[in-house]
Amino acid sequence: MRQGEVTGTGKWIGNPQGGVTAPEPLILPDPRTRFAATSARLRALCEGHPMQGWLRFMAAVAQAQQDAVASLDSLPTPDLGSVRQAVDARLPPLAADGHSRDLRWREALAVLLDRCAEASPGEAIPAEARAVVRSLRSRDAVAVERLADDFLSGGVEPADAGAALYVAAALQVYFTALAARLPAAELRLLPERGLCPCCGSTPVAGVVTASGPTPGTRYLHCSLCSTAWNHVRAMCVTCGKSGRVELIGIEGDTEAVKAEACGDCQTYAKMLYQAQDTNVDPVADDLASLGLDMLVAEAGWRRHAPNPLVLVG
């Protein structure tokens, strides 16, 4: 297997049946299960959690994202020639900051908003969030596209933060659906190993595997298109150095979630360990461990990149 090749779409990391011993360089997402898995994990984590109400809300948003996946079944497969051209230039084929969005992404947004608006007063979507949904529905297409551009460029105005949460969630559905349609064998890891090889976005967290022929392999998970890609362990995701990397956790926790902090660039990234909990989910466990973010921030570390749903929500 050449560096950068992949063998399939939506495969679980690791192969309990054995086979090729080299870690798969990247694994494309499976939209059929991606957001439902996050929703289920959030519901499991919220019980007894100090942020129980917020985690329930985010679980409802994740389930709405899963419901929106079917609205993008008609998306075309990315053009093979364009994909090869980007890969040859060592660029992501779905570059978030330059990709020309198919207008059908707004269909996913419409489904997501419908699901969130349908929540009854006793369900997880609070009244304030439903008010934001109503306001966003009243915006015209130009305003919605502008907000999407602002989110992808990192320039969301504070007054738009609530609406941008739903736009960001819909864009995650859209880019995940597109990434799943990429020709896997054509893809390569980027020279900037801390960026997603499909869309160029930053990871939300890393997962260290516990099963298969290469247990202990680390995969970073894209915060936008849900692609997972291999990244050497004990090497800083931000600066690529390894001499002053340490793991920080909260005493008494399950040890499944750690902050990998780099003394060279003073940044950290979340790492999840399947050996401690086989059910870890990059998005859900990151949202449920904001206490760890507070701990390391107080110690002077900066996060490598924010979870986009926390950034705008």
pLDDT at 256 over 50: yes
Residues 79 and 213 in one domain: no
Residues in the chain: 313
Residues 223 and 300 in one domain: yes
**Is 159 in a helix, a strand, or coil?**
helix
Q: What is the CATH number of the domain that holds 86?
A: 3.90.1670.10
240 assigned to some structural domain: yes
pLDDT at 10 over 60: no
Mean pLDDT across the stretch 187-216? 93
Residues 61 and 165 in one domain: yes
Of 49, 43, 150, whose CA–CA distance to 96 is shortest? Answer: 150
25 is written with which tokens?
A: 């360089």
Residues 163 and 242 in one domain: no
Distance separating alpha carbons of residues 191 and 265, to the nearest angstrom: 19
Residues 60 and 160 in one domain: yes
Q: Which amino acid is at 227?
A: T
Tell me, what's the pLDDT at 104?
96
Residues 159 and 296 in one domain: no
Residues 225 and 87 in one domain: no
Tell me, what's the pLDDT at 6?
44
pLDDT band for position 203 (50/70/90)?
Answer: very high
238 assigned to some structural domain: yes
Tell me, what's the pLDDT at 274?
96
143 assigned to some structural domain: yes
Q: What is the dihedral of CA 181, 62, 171, 97, to 10 degrees?
A: -90
- Domain carrying residue 306: 203-312
Mean pLDDT across the stretch 213-222? 91
pLDDT at 193 over 90: yes
pLDDT at 243 over 90: no
Q: Count Cβ atoms within 10 A of the Cβ of residue 214 and give its class: 0-12 exposed, 13-18 middle, 19 or more buried.
A: middle
Digit-coded pLDDT (tens) for 270-308: 999 999 999 999 999 999 999 999 999 999 999 999 899
pLDDT band for position 12 (50/70/90)?
Answer: very low
Per the structure, the count of domains in the chain is 2
What is the DSSP code string of 95-111?
-TTT----TTHHHHHHH
pLDDT band for position 9 (50/70/90)?
Answer: very low
5 assigned to some structural domain: no
pLDDT at 64 over 70: yes
Residues 241 and 140 in one domain: no
Tell me, what's the pLDDT at 186?
95
Mean pLDDT across the stretch 209-236? 92
Residues 268 and 214 in one domain: yes
Question: Which neighbouring-strand residues pair with 302?
Answer: 267
Tell me whether strands 203-208 and 218-222 are parallel, antiparallel or unpaired: antiparallel
Residues 214 and 163 in one domain: no
Residues 239 and 283 in one domain: yes
Mean pLDDT across the stretch 87-102? 95
Distance separating alpha carbons of residues 94 and 44, to the nearest angstrom: 33
Instruction: Supply the mean pLDDT for the chain.
Output: 90
Digit-coded pLDDT (tens) for 22-38: 889 999 999 999 999 99
278 assigned to some structural domain: yes
Digit-coded pLDDT (tens) for 97-144: 889 999 999 999 999 999 998 866 556 788 888 899 999 999 999 999
Q: ∠ CA(211), CA(176), CA(91), 5° rounding?
A: 95
Say what the pTM is. 0.90
pLDDT more than 70, % of the chain: 90
Q: Which of 147, 180, 213 is the last residue in one of the domains?
A: 180
Mean pLDDT across the stretch 234-263? 91
